[in-house]
Structure 1
Amino acid sequence: MEPENVTRISEFLLLGFSEEPKLYPLIFGLFFSMYLITVIGNLLIILATVSDSHLHTPMYFFLLNLSLADICFTSTTIPKMLVNIQTQSKVITYAGCITQMFFFVLFAGVDDFLLTVMAYDRYVAICHPLHYTIIMNPWLCVLLALLSWIMSVLNSLLHSLMALRLSFCTPLEIPHFFCELNQVIHLASSDTFLNDVVTYSASVLLGGVPITGILYSYCKIVSSIHAISSAQGTYKAFSTCASHLLVVSLFYFTMISVYFSSSTTQTSHSSAAASVMYTVVTPMLNPFIYSLRNEDMKRALKRFSGRKLSTNK
């Protein structure tokens, strides 16, 4: 049994990227700019999708949910880091750390599930075009989106409750810019075997299964595209899923590379720096990828901006 005073910790210290105060203004400006771009870009995607009736389709319904999740994803970590830099403080309360960890795992899971659902949507659209409207009906789309959110909430709740049972000893320094699940667990002074089992099991089930589903969908998509005889038809089929495939590649490859690199390196700030790719850069790039490679989204954004300009006149 752990001593009672060991478990009653009140705060953690987020070490962030650098301990050099002279670098704080540069880090603050860089991350504040990326956060603004992420929020504004994804918000424009949401507003364009809602306001344009041409985009009231399953693909853009899931994209709307993805943009909302990306805004929340970055808002879970970046604002706290910016406040800490501005106040030159590294403190996050115990309750704040558990809360941040809960929402981070939640929105990462939502991204994971939505990317899988979007891959299935592209599979049905290309491989079964005649039955697309029947299969991807509004009820199924809402159900798939709800399941993505509900499963992510349950998974995140499980990890958070498992973390609450742990005991901690001071000092509690996290070599990261947010309360990352593995970093927090490995600071515990109590046995973390059960937490590790839950974490690895969830990674296999909620990571491996979606990746397998996405790879299967795109294998079928590639096979169907090769069967299209006309070059115009092939280009049209590929263009409908190119943006999604690029987002999937960015999200999964950066996340996998982060966890592989963090397991092989011992430098305290390397994992934090690498995590920026999937926690900040990927959500920031998603709106550009979908708007620059998607003609329907370009037209919707132009119509939306045109209406706003005419309203302001």
Structure 2
Amino acid sequence: MKNSTVTTFILLGLTDDPELQVLIFIFLFCTYMLSATGNLTIITLTFVDPRLQTPMYFFLQNFSFLEVSFTTACIPRYLYNIATGDKVITYNACVIQVFFTDLFAVTEFFLLAIMSYDRYVAICKPLHYVTIMSSRVCRSLMFSCWLAGLLVITSPLSLGLNLKFCDSNVIDHFLCDASPLLKISCSDTWLMEQTVLICAVLTLILTLICVVLSYTSIIKTILGFPSVQQRKKAFSTCSSHMIVVSITYGTCMFIYMNPTAKEEVTINKAVSLLISSVSPMLNPFIYTLRNKQVKKAFSDSIKRIAAFLKK
């Protein structure tokens, strides 16, 4: 984003109404704290509990890290803006926010696809699971997710660094994002708009294909199990991931596939707020409440802490 005359941007946020701002601040502060606490709890549990040191929980640990990183890149800055009334963000800070929010978001989609593949191997090829999903393979897959995320955002970001801002520096959003920045640029933005759209849609489609193929095979295998108990157990191991996938892809499809949402700035901001605050808050609870091993590990950790405090 080449800087012609603009050295700072002004983030308008969601509203100018002081009463609404107070409500938004309380809501975002609570969701952020719950999100950070929940995701950091899962990260800690997967580190300290030997029962959770498996490929499935290795990926869940990294997913929680991405969630807390993504929401930290979005929410605290907006909370600061509301609390102080200072809506100004420097050019460099804006570029950094765009980079990290996009990197974490795109990497998360590739990780969801990898987590689907992990469940496919666990259910469809259980005898070979330990061999296929070895520690080396898991680390390589995780590295590939980060690399894919970085490669996807490189082209749009490179084009974005050449954008010029001449007259307006007012961003109609609560964070720096590609779409509102393109609207105020005085450069020809057609190429970047197409690049952003292609990268977003390709990421969505490629990862979704992987998820759909994995779960199609999983469902076919589960339905072939002779015992009802076996089928229930198999479905329960996938249910948490399926719910998270549905929430993540559902909200993103709403943004990119709904023509009205693309035109309505207010709706886009509201959906972005849900993605950056509510979704990261829900995910730890979904995995904790629907996963017996995580619940057991959490319960045991609480007991150990209580026993230590009594001493």
Q: Decide: shared fold, TM above 0.5.
A: yes
Please say if residues 163 and 185 of structure 2, whose CA atoms lie closer than 8 Å, have aligned partners that are also in contact. Answer: yes
Please say if residues 176 and 271 of structure 1, whose CA atoms lie closer than 8 Å, have aligned partners that are also in contact. Answer: no
Shift, 1:208, TM fit? 0.9
Letter aligned with residue 226 of structure 1: L
1:38 paired residue number: 35
SS at match of 1:7: coil
Please say if residues 51 and 304 of structure 1, whose CA atoms lie closer than 8 Å, have aligned partners that are also in contact. Answer: no
Letter aligned with residue 203 of structure 1: A
Letter aligned with residue 192 of structure 2: N
Please say if residues 10 and 171 of structure 2, whose CA atoms lie closer than 8 Å, have aligned partners that are also in contact. Answer: yes
Q: Alignment identity in percent?
A: 39
Match of 1:196 among 193, 196, 201: 193
Shift, 1:184, TM fit? 1.4
Match of 1:273 among 252, 265, 270: 270
Q: Which runs of 5+ in 2 are unaligned?
A: none
TM-score if structure 1 supplies the norm length? 0.94
Alpha-carbon distance between aligned partners in 1 of 2:274 and 2:95, rounded to the nearest angstrom:
23
Residue 202 (structure 2) pairs with residue 177 (structure 1)? no
- Give the root-mean-square deviation of aligned CA atoms: 1.6
Please say if residues 250 and 278 of structure 1, whose CA atoms lie closer than 8 Å, have aligned partners that are also in contact. Answer: no
Q: Counterparts of 1:143-182 in structure 2 under 5 Å?
A: 143-182=140-179
1:307 paired residue number: 304
Residues 167 and 263 (structure 1 numbering): CA distance in 2 closer, same or farther, change over 3 Å? farther
Shift, 1:312, TM fit? 2.5
Q: Counterparts of 1:1-313 in structure 2 under 5 Å?
A: 7-261=4-258, 263-264=260-261, 266-313=263-310
Letter aligned with residue 84 of structure 1: N
Residues 10 and 262 (structure 1 numbering): CA distance in 2 closer, same or farther, change over 3 Å? farther
Alpha-carbon distance between aligned partners in 2 of 1:139 and 1:38, rounded to the nearest angstrom:
30
SS at match of 1:178: coil
TM-score if structure 2 supplies the norm length? 0.95
Alpha-carbon distance between aligned partners in 2 of 1:87 and 1:268, rounded to the nearest angstrom:
24
Alpha-carbon distance between aligned partners in 1 of 2:200 and 2:265, rounded to the nearest angstrom:
23
Q: CA-to-partner distance for each residue in 1:185-222, whole Å, 9 max, x for gaps?
A: 23211111221232122123322100111011111111
Alpha-carbon distance between aligned partners in 1 of 2:42 and 2:297, rounded to the nearest angstrom:
9
Shift, 1:38, TM fit? 0.3
Alpha-carbon distance between aligned partners in 2 of 1:267 and 1:250, rounded to the nearest angstrom:
21
Shift, 1:286, TM fit? 0.5
Alpha-carbon distance between aligned partners in 1 of 2:217 and 2:265, rounded to the nearest angstrom:
42
Alpha-carbon distance between aligned partners in 2 of 1:225 and 1:291, rounded to the nearest angstrom:
23
Alpha-carbon distance between aligned partners in 2 of 1:235 and 1:22, rounded to the nearest angstrom:
48
Please say if residues 101 and 180 of structure 1, whose CA atoms lie closer than 8 Å, have aligned partners that are also in contact. Answer: yes
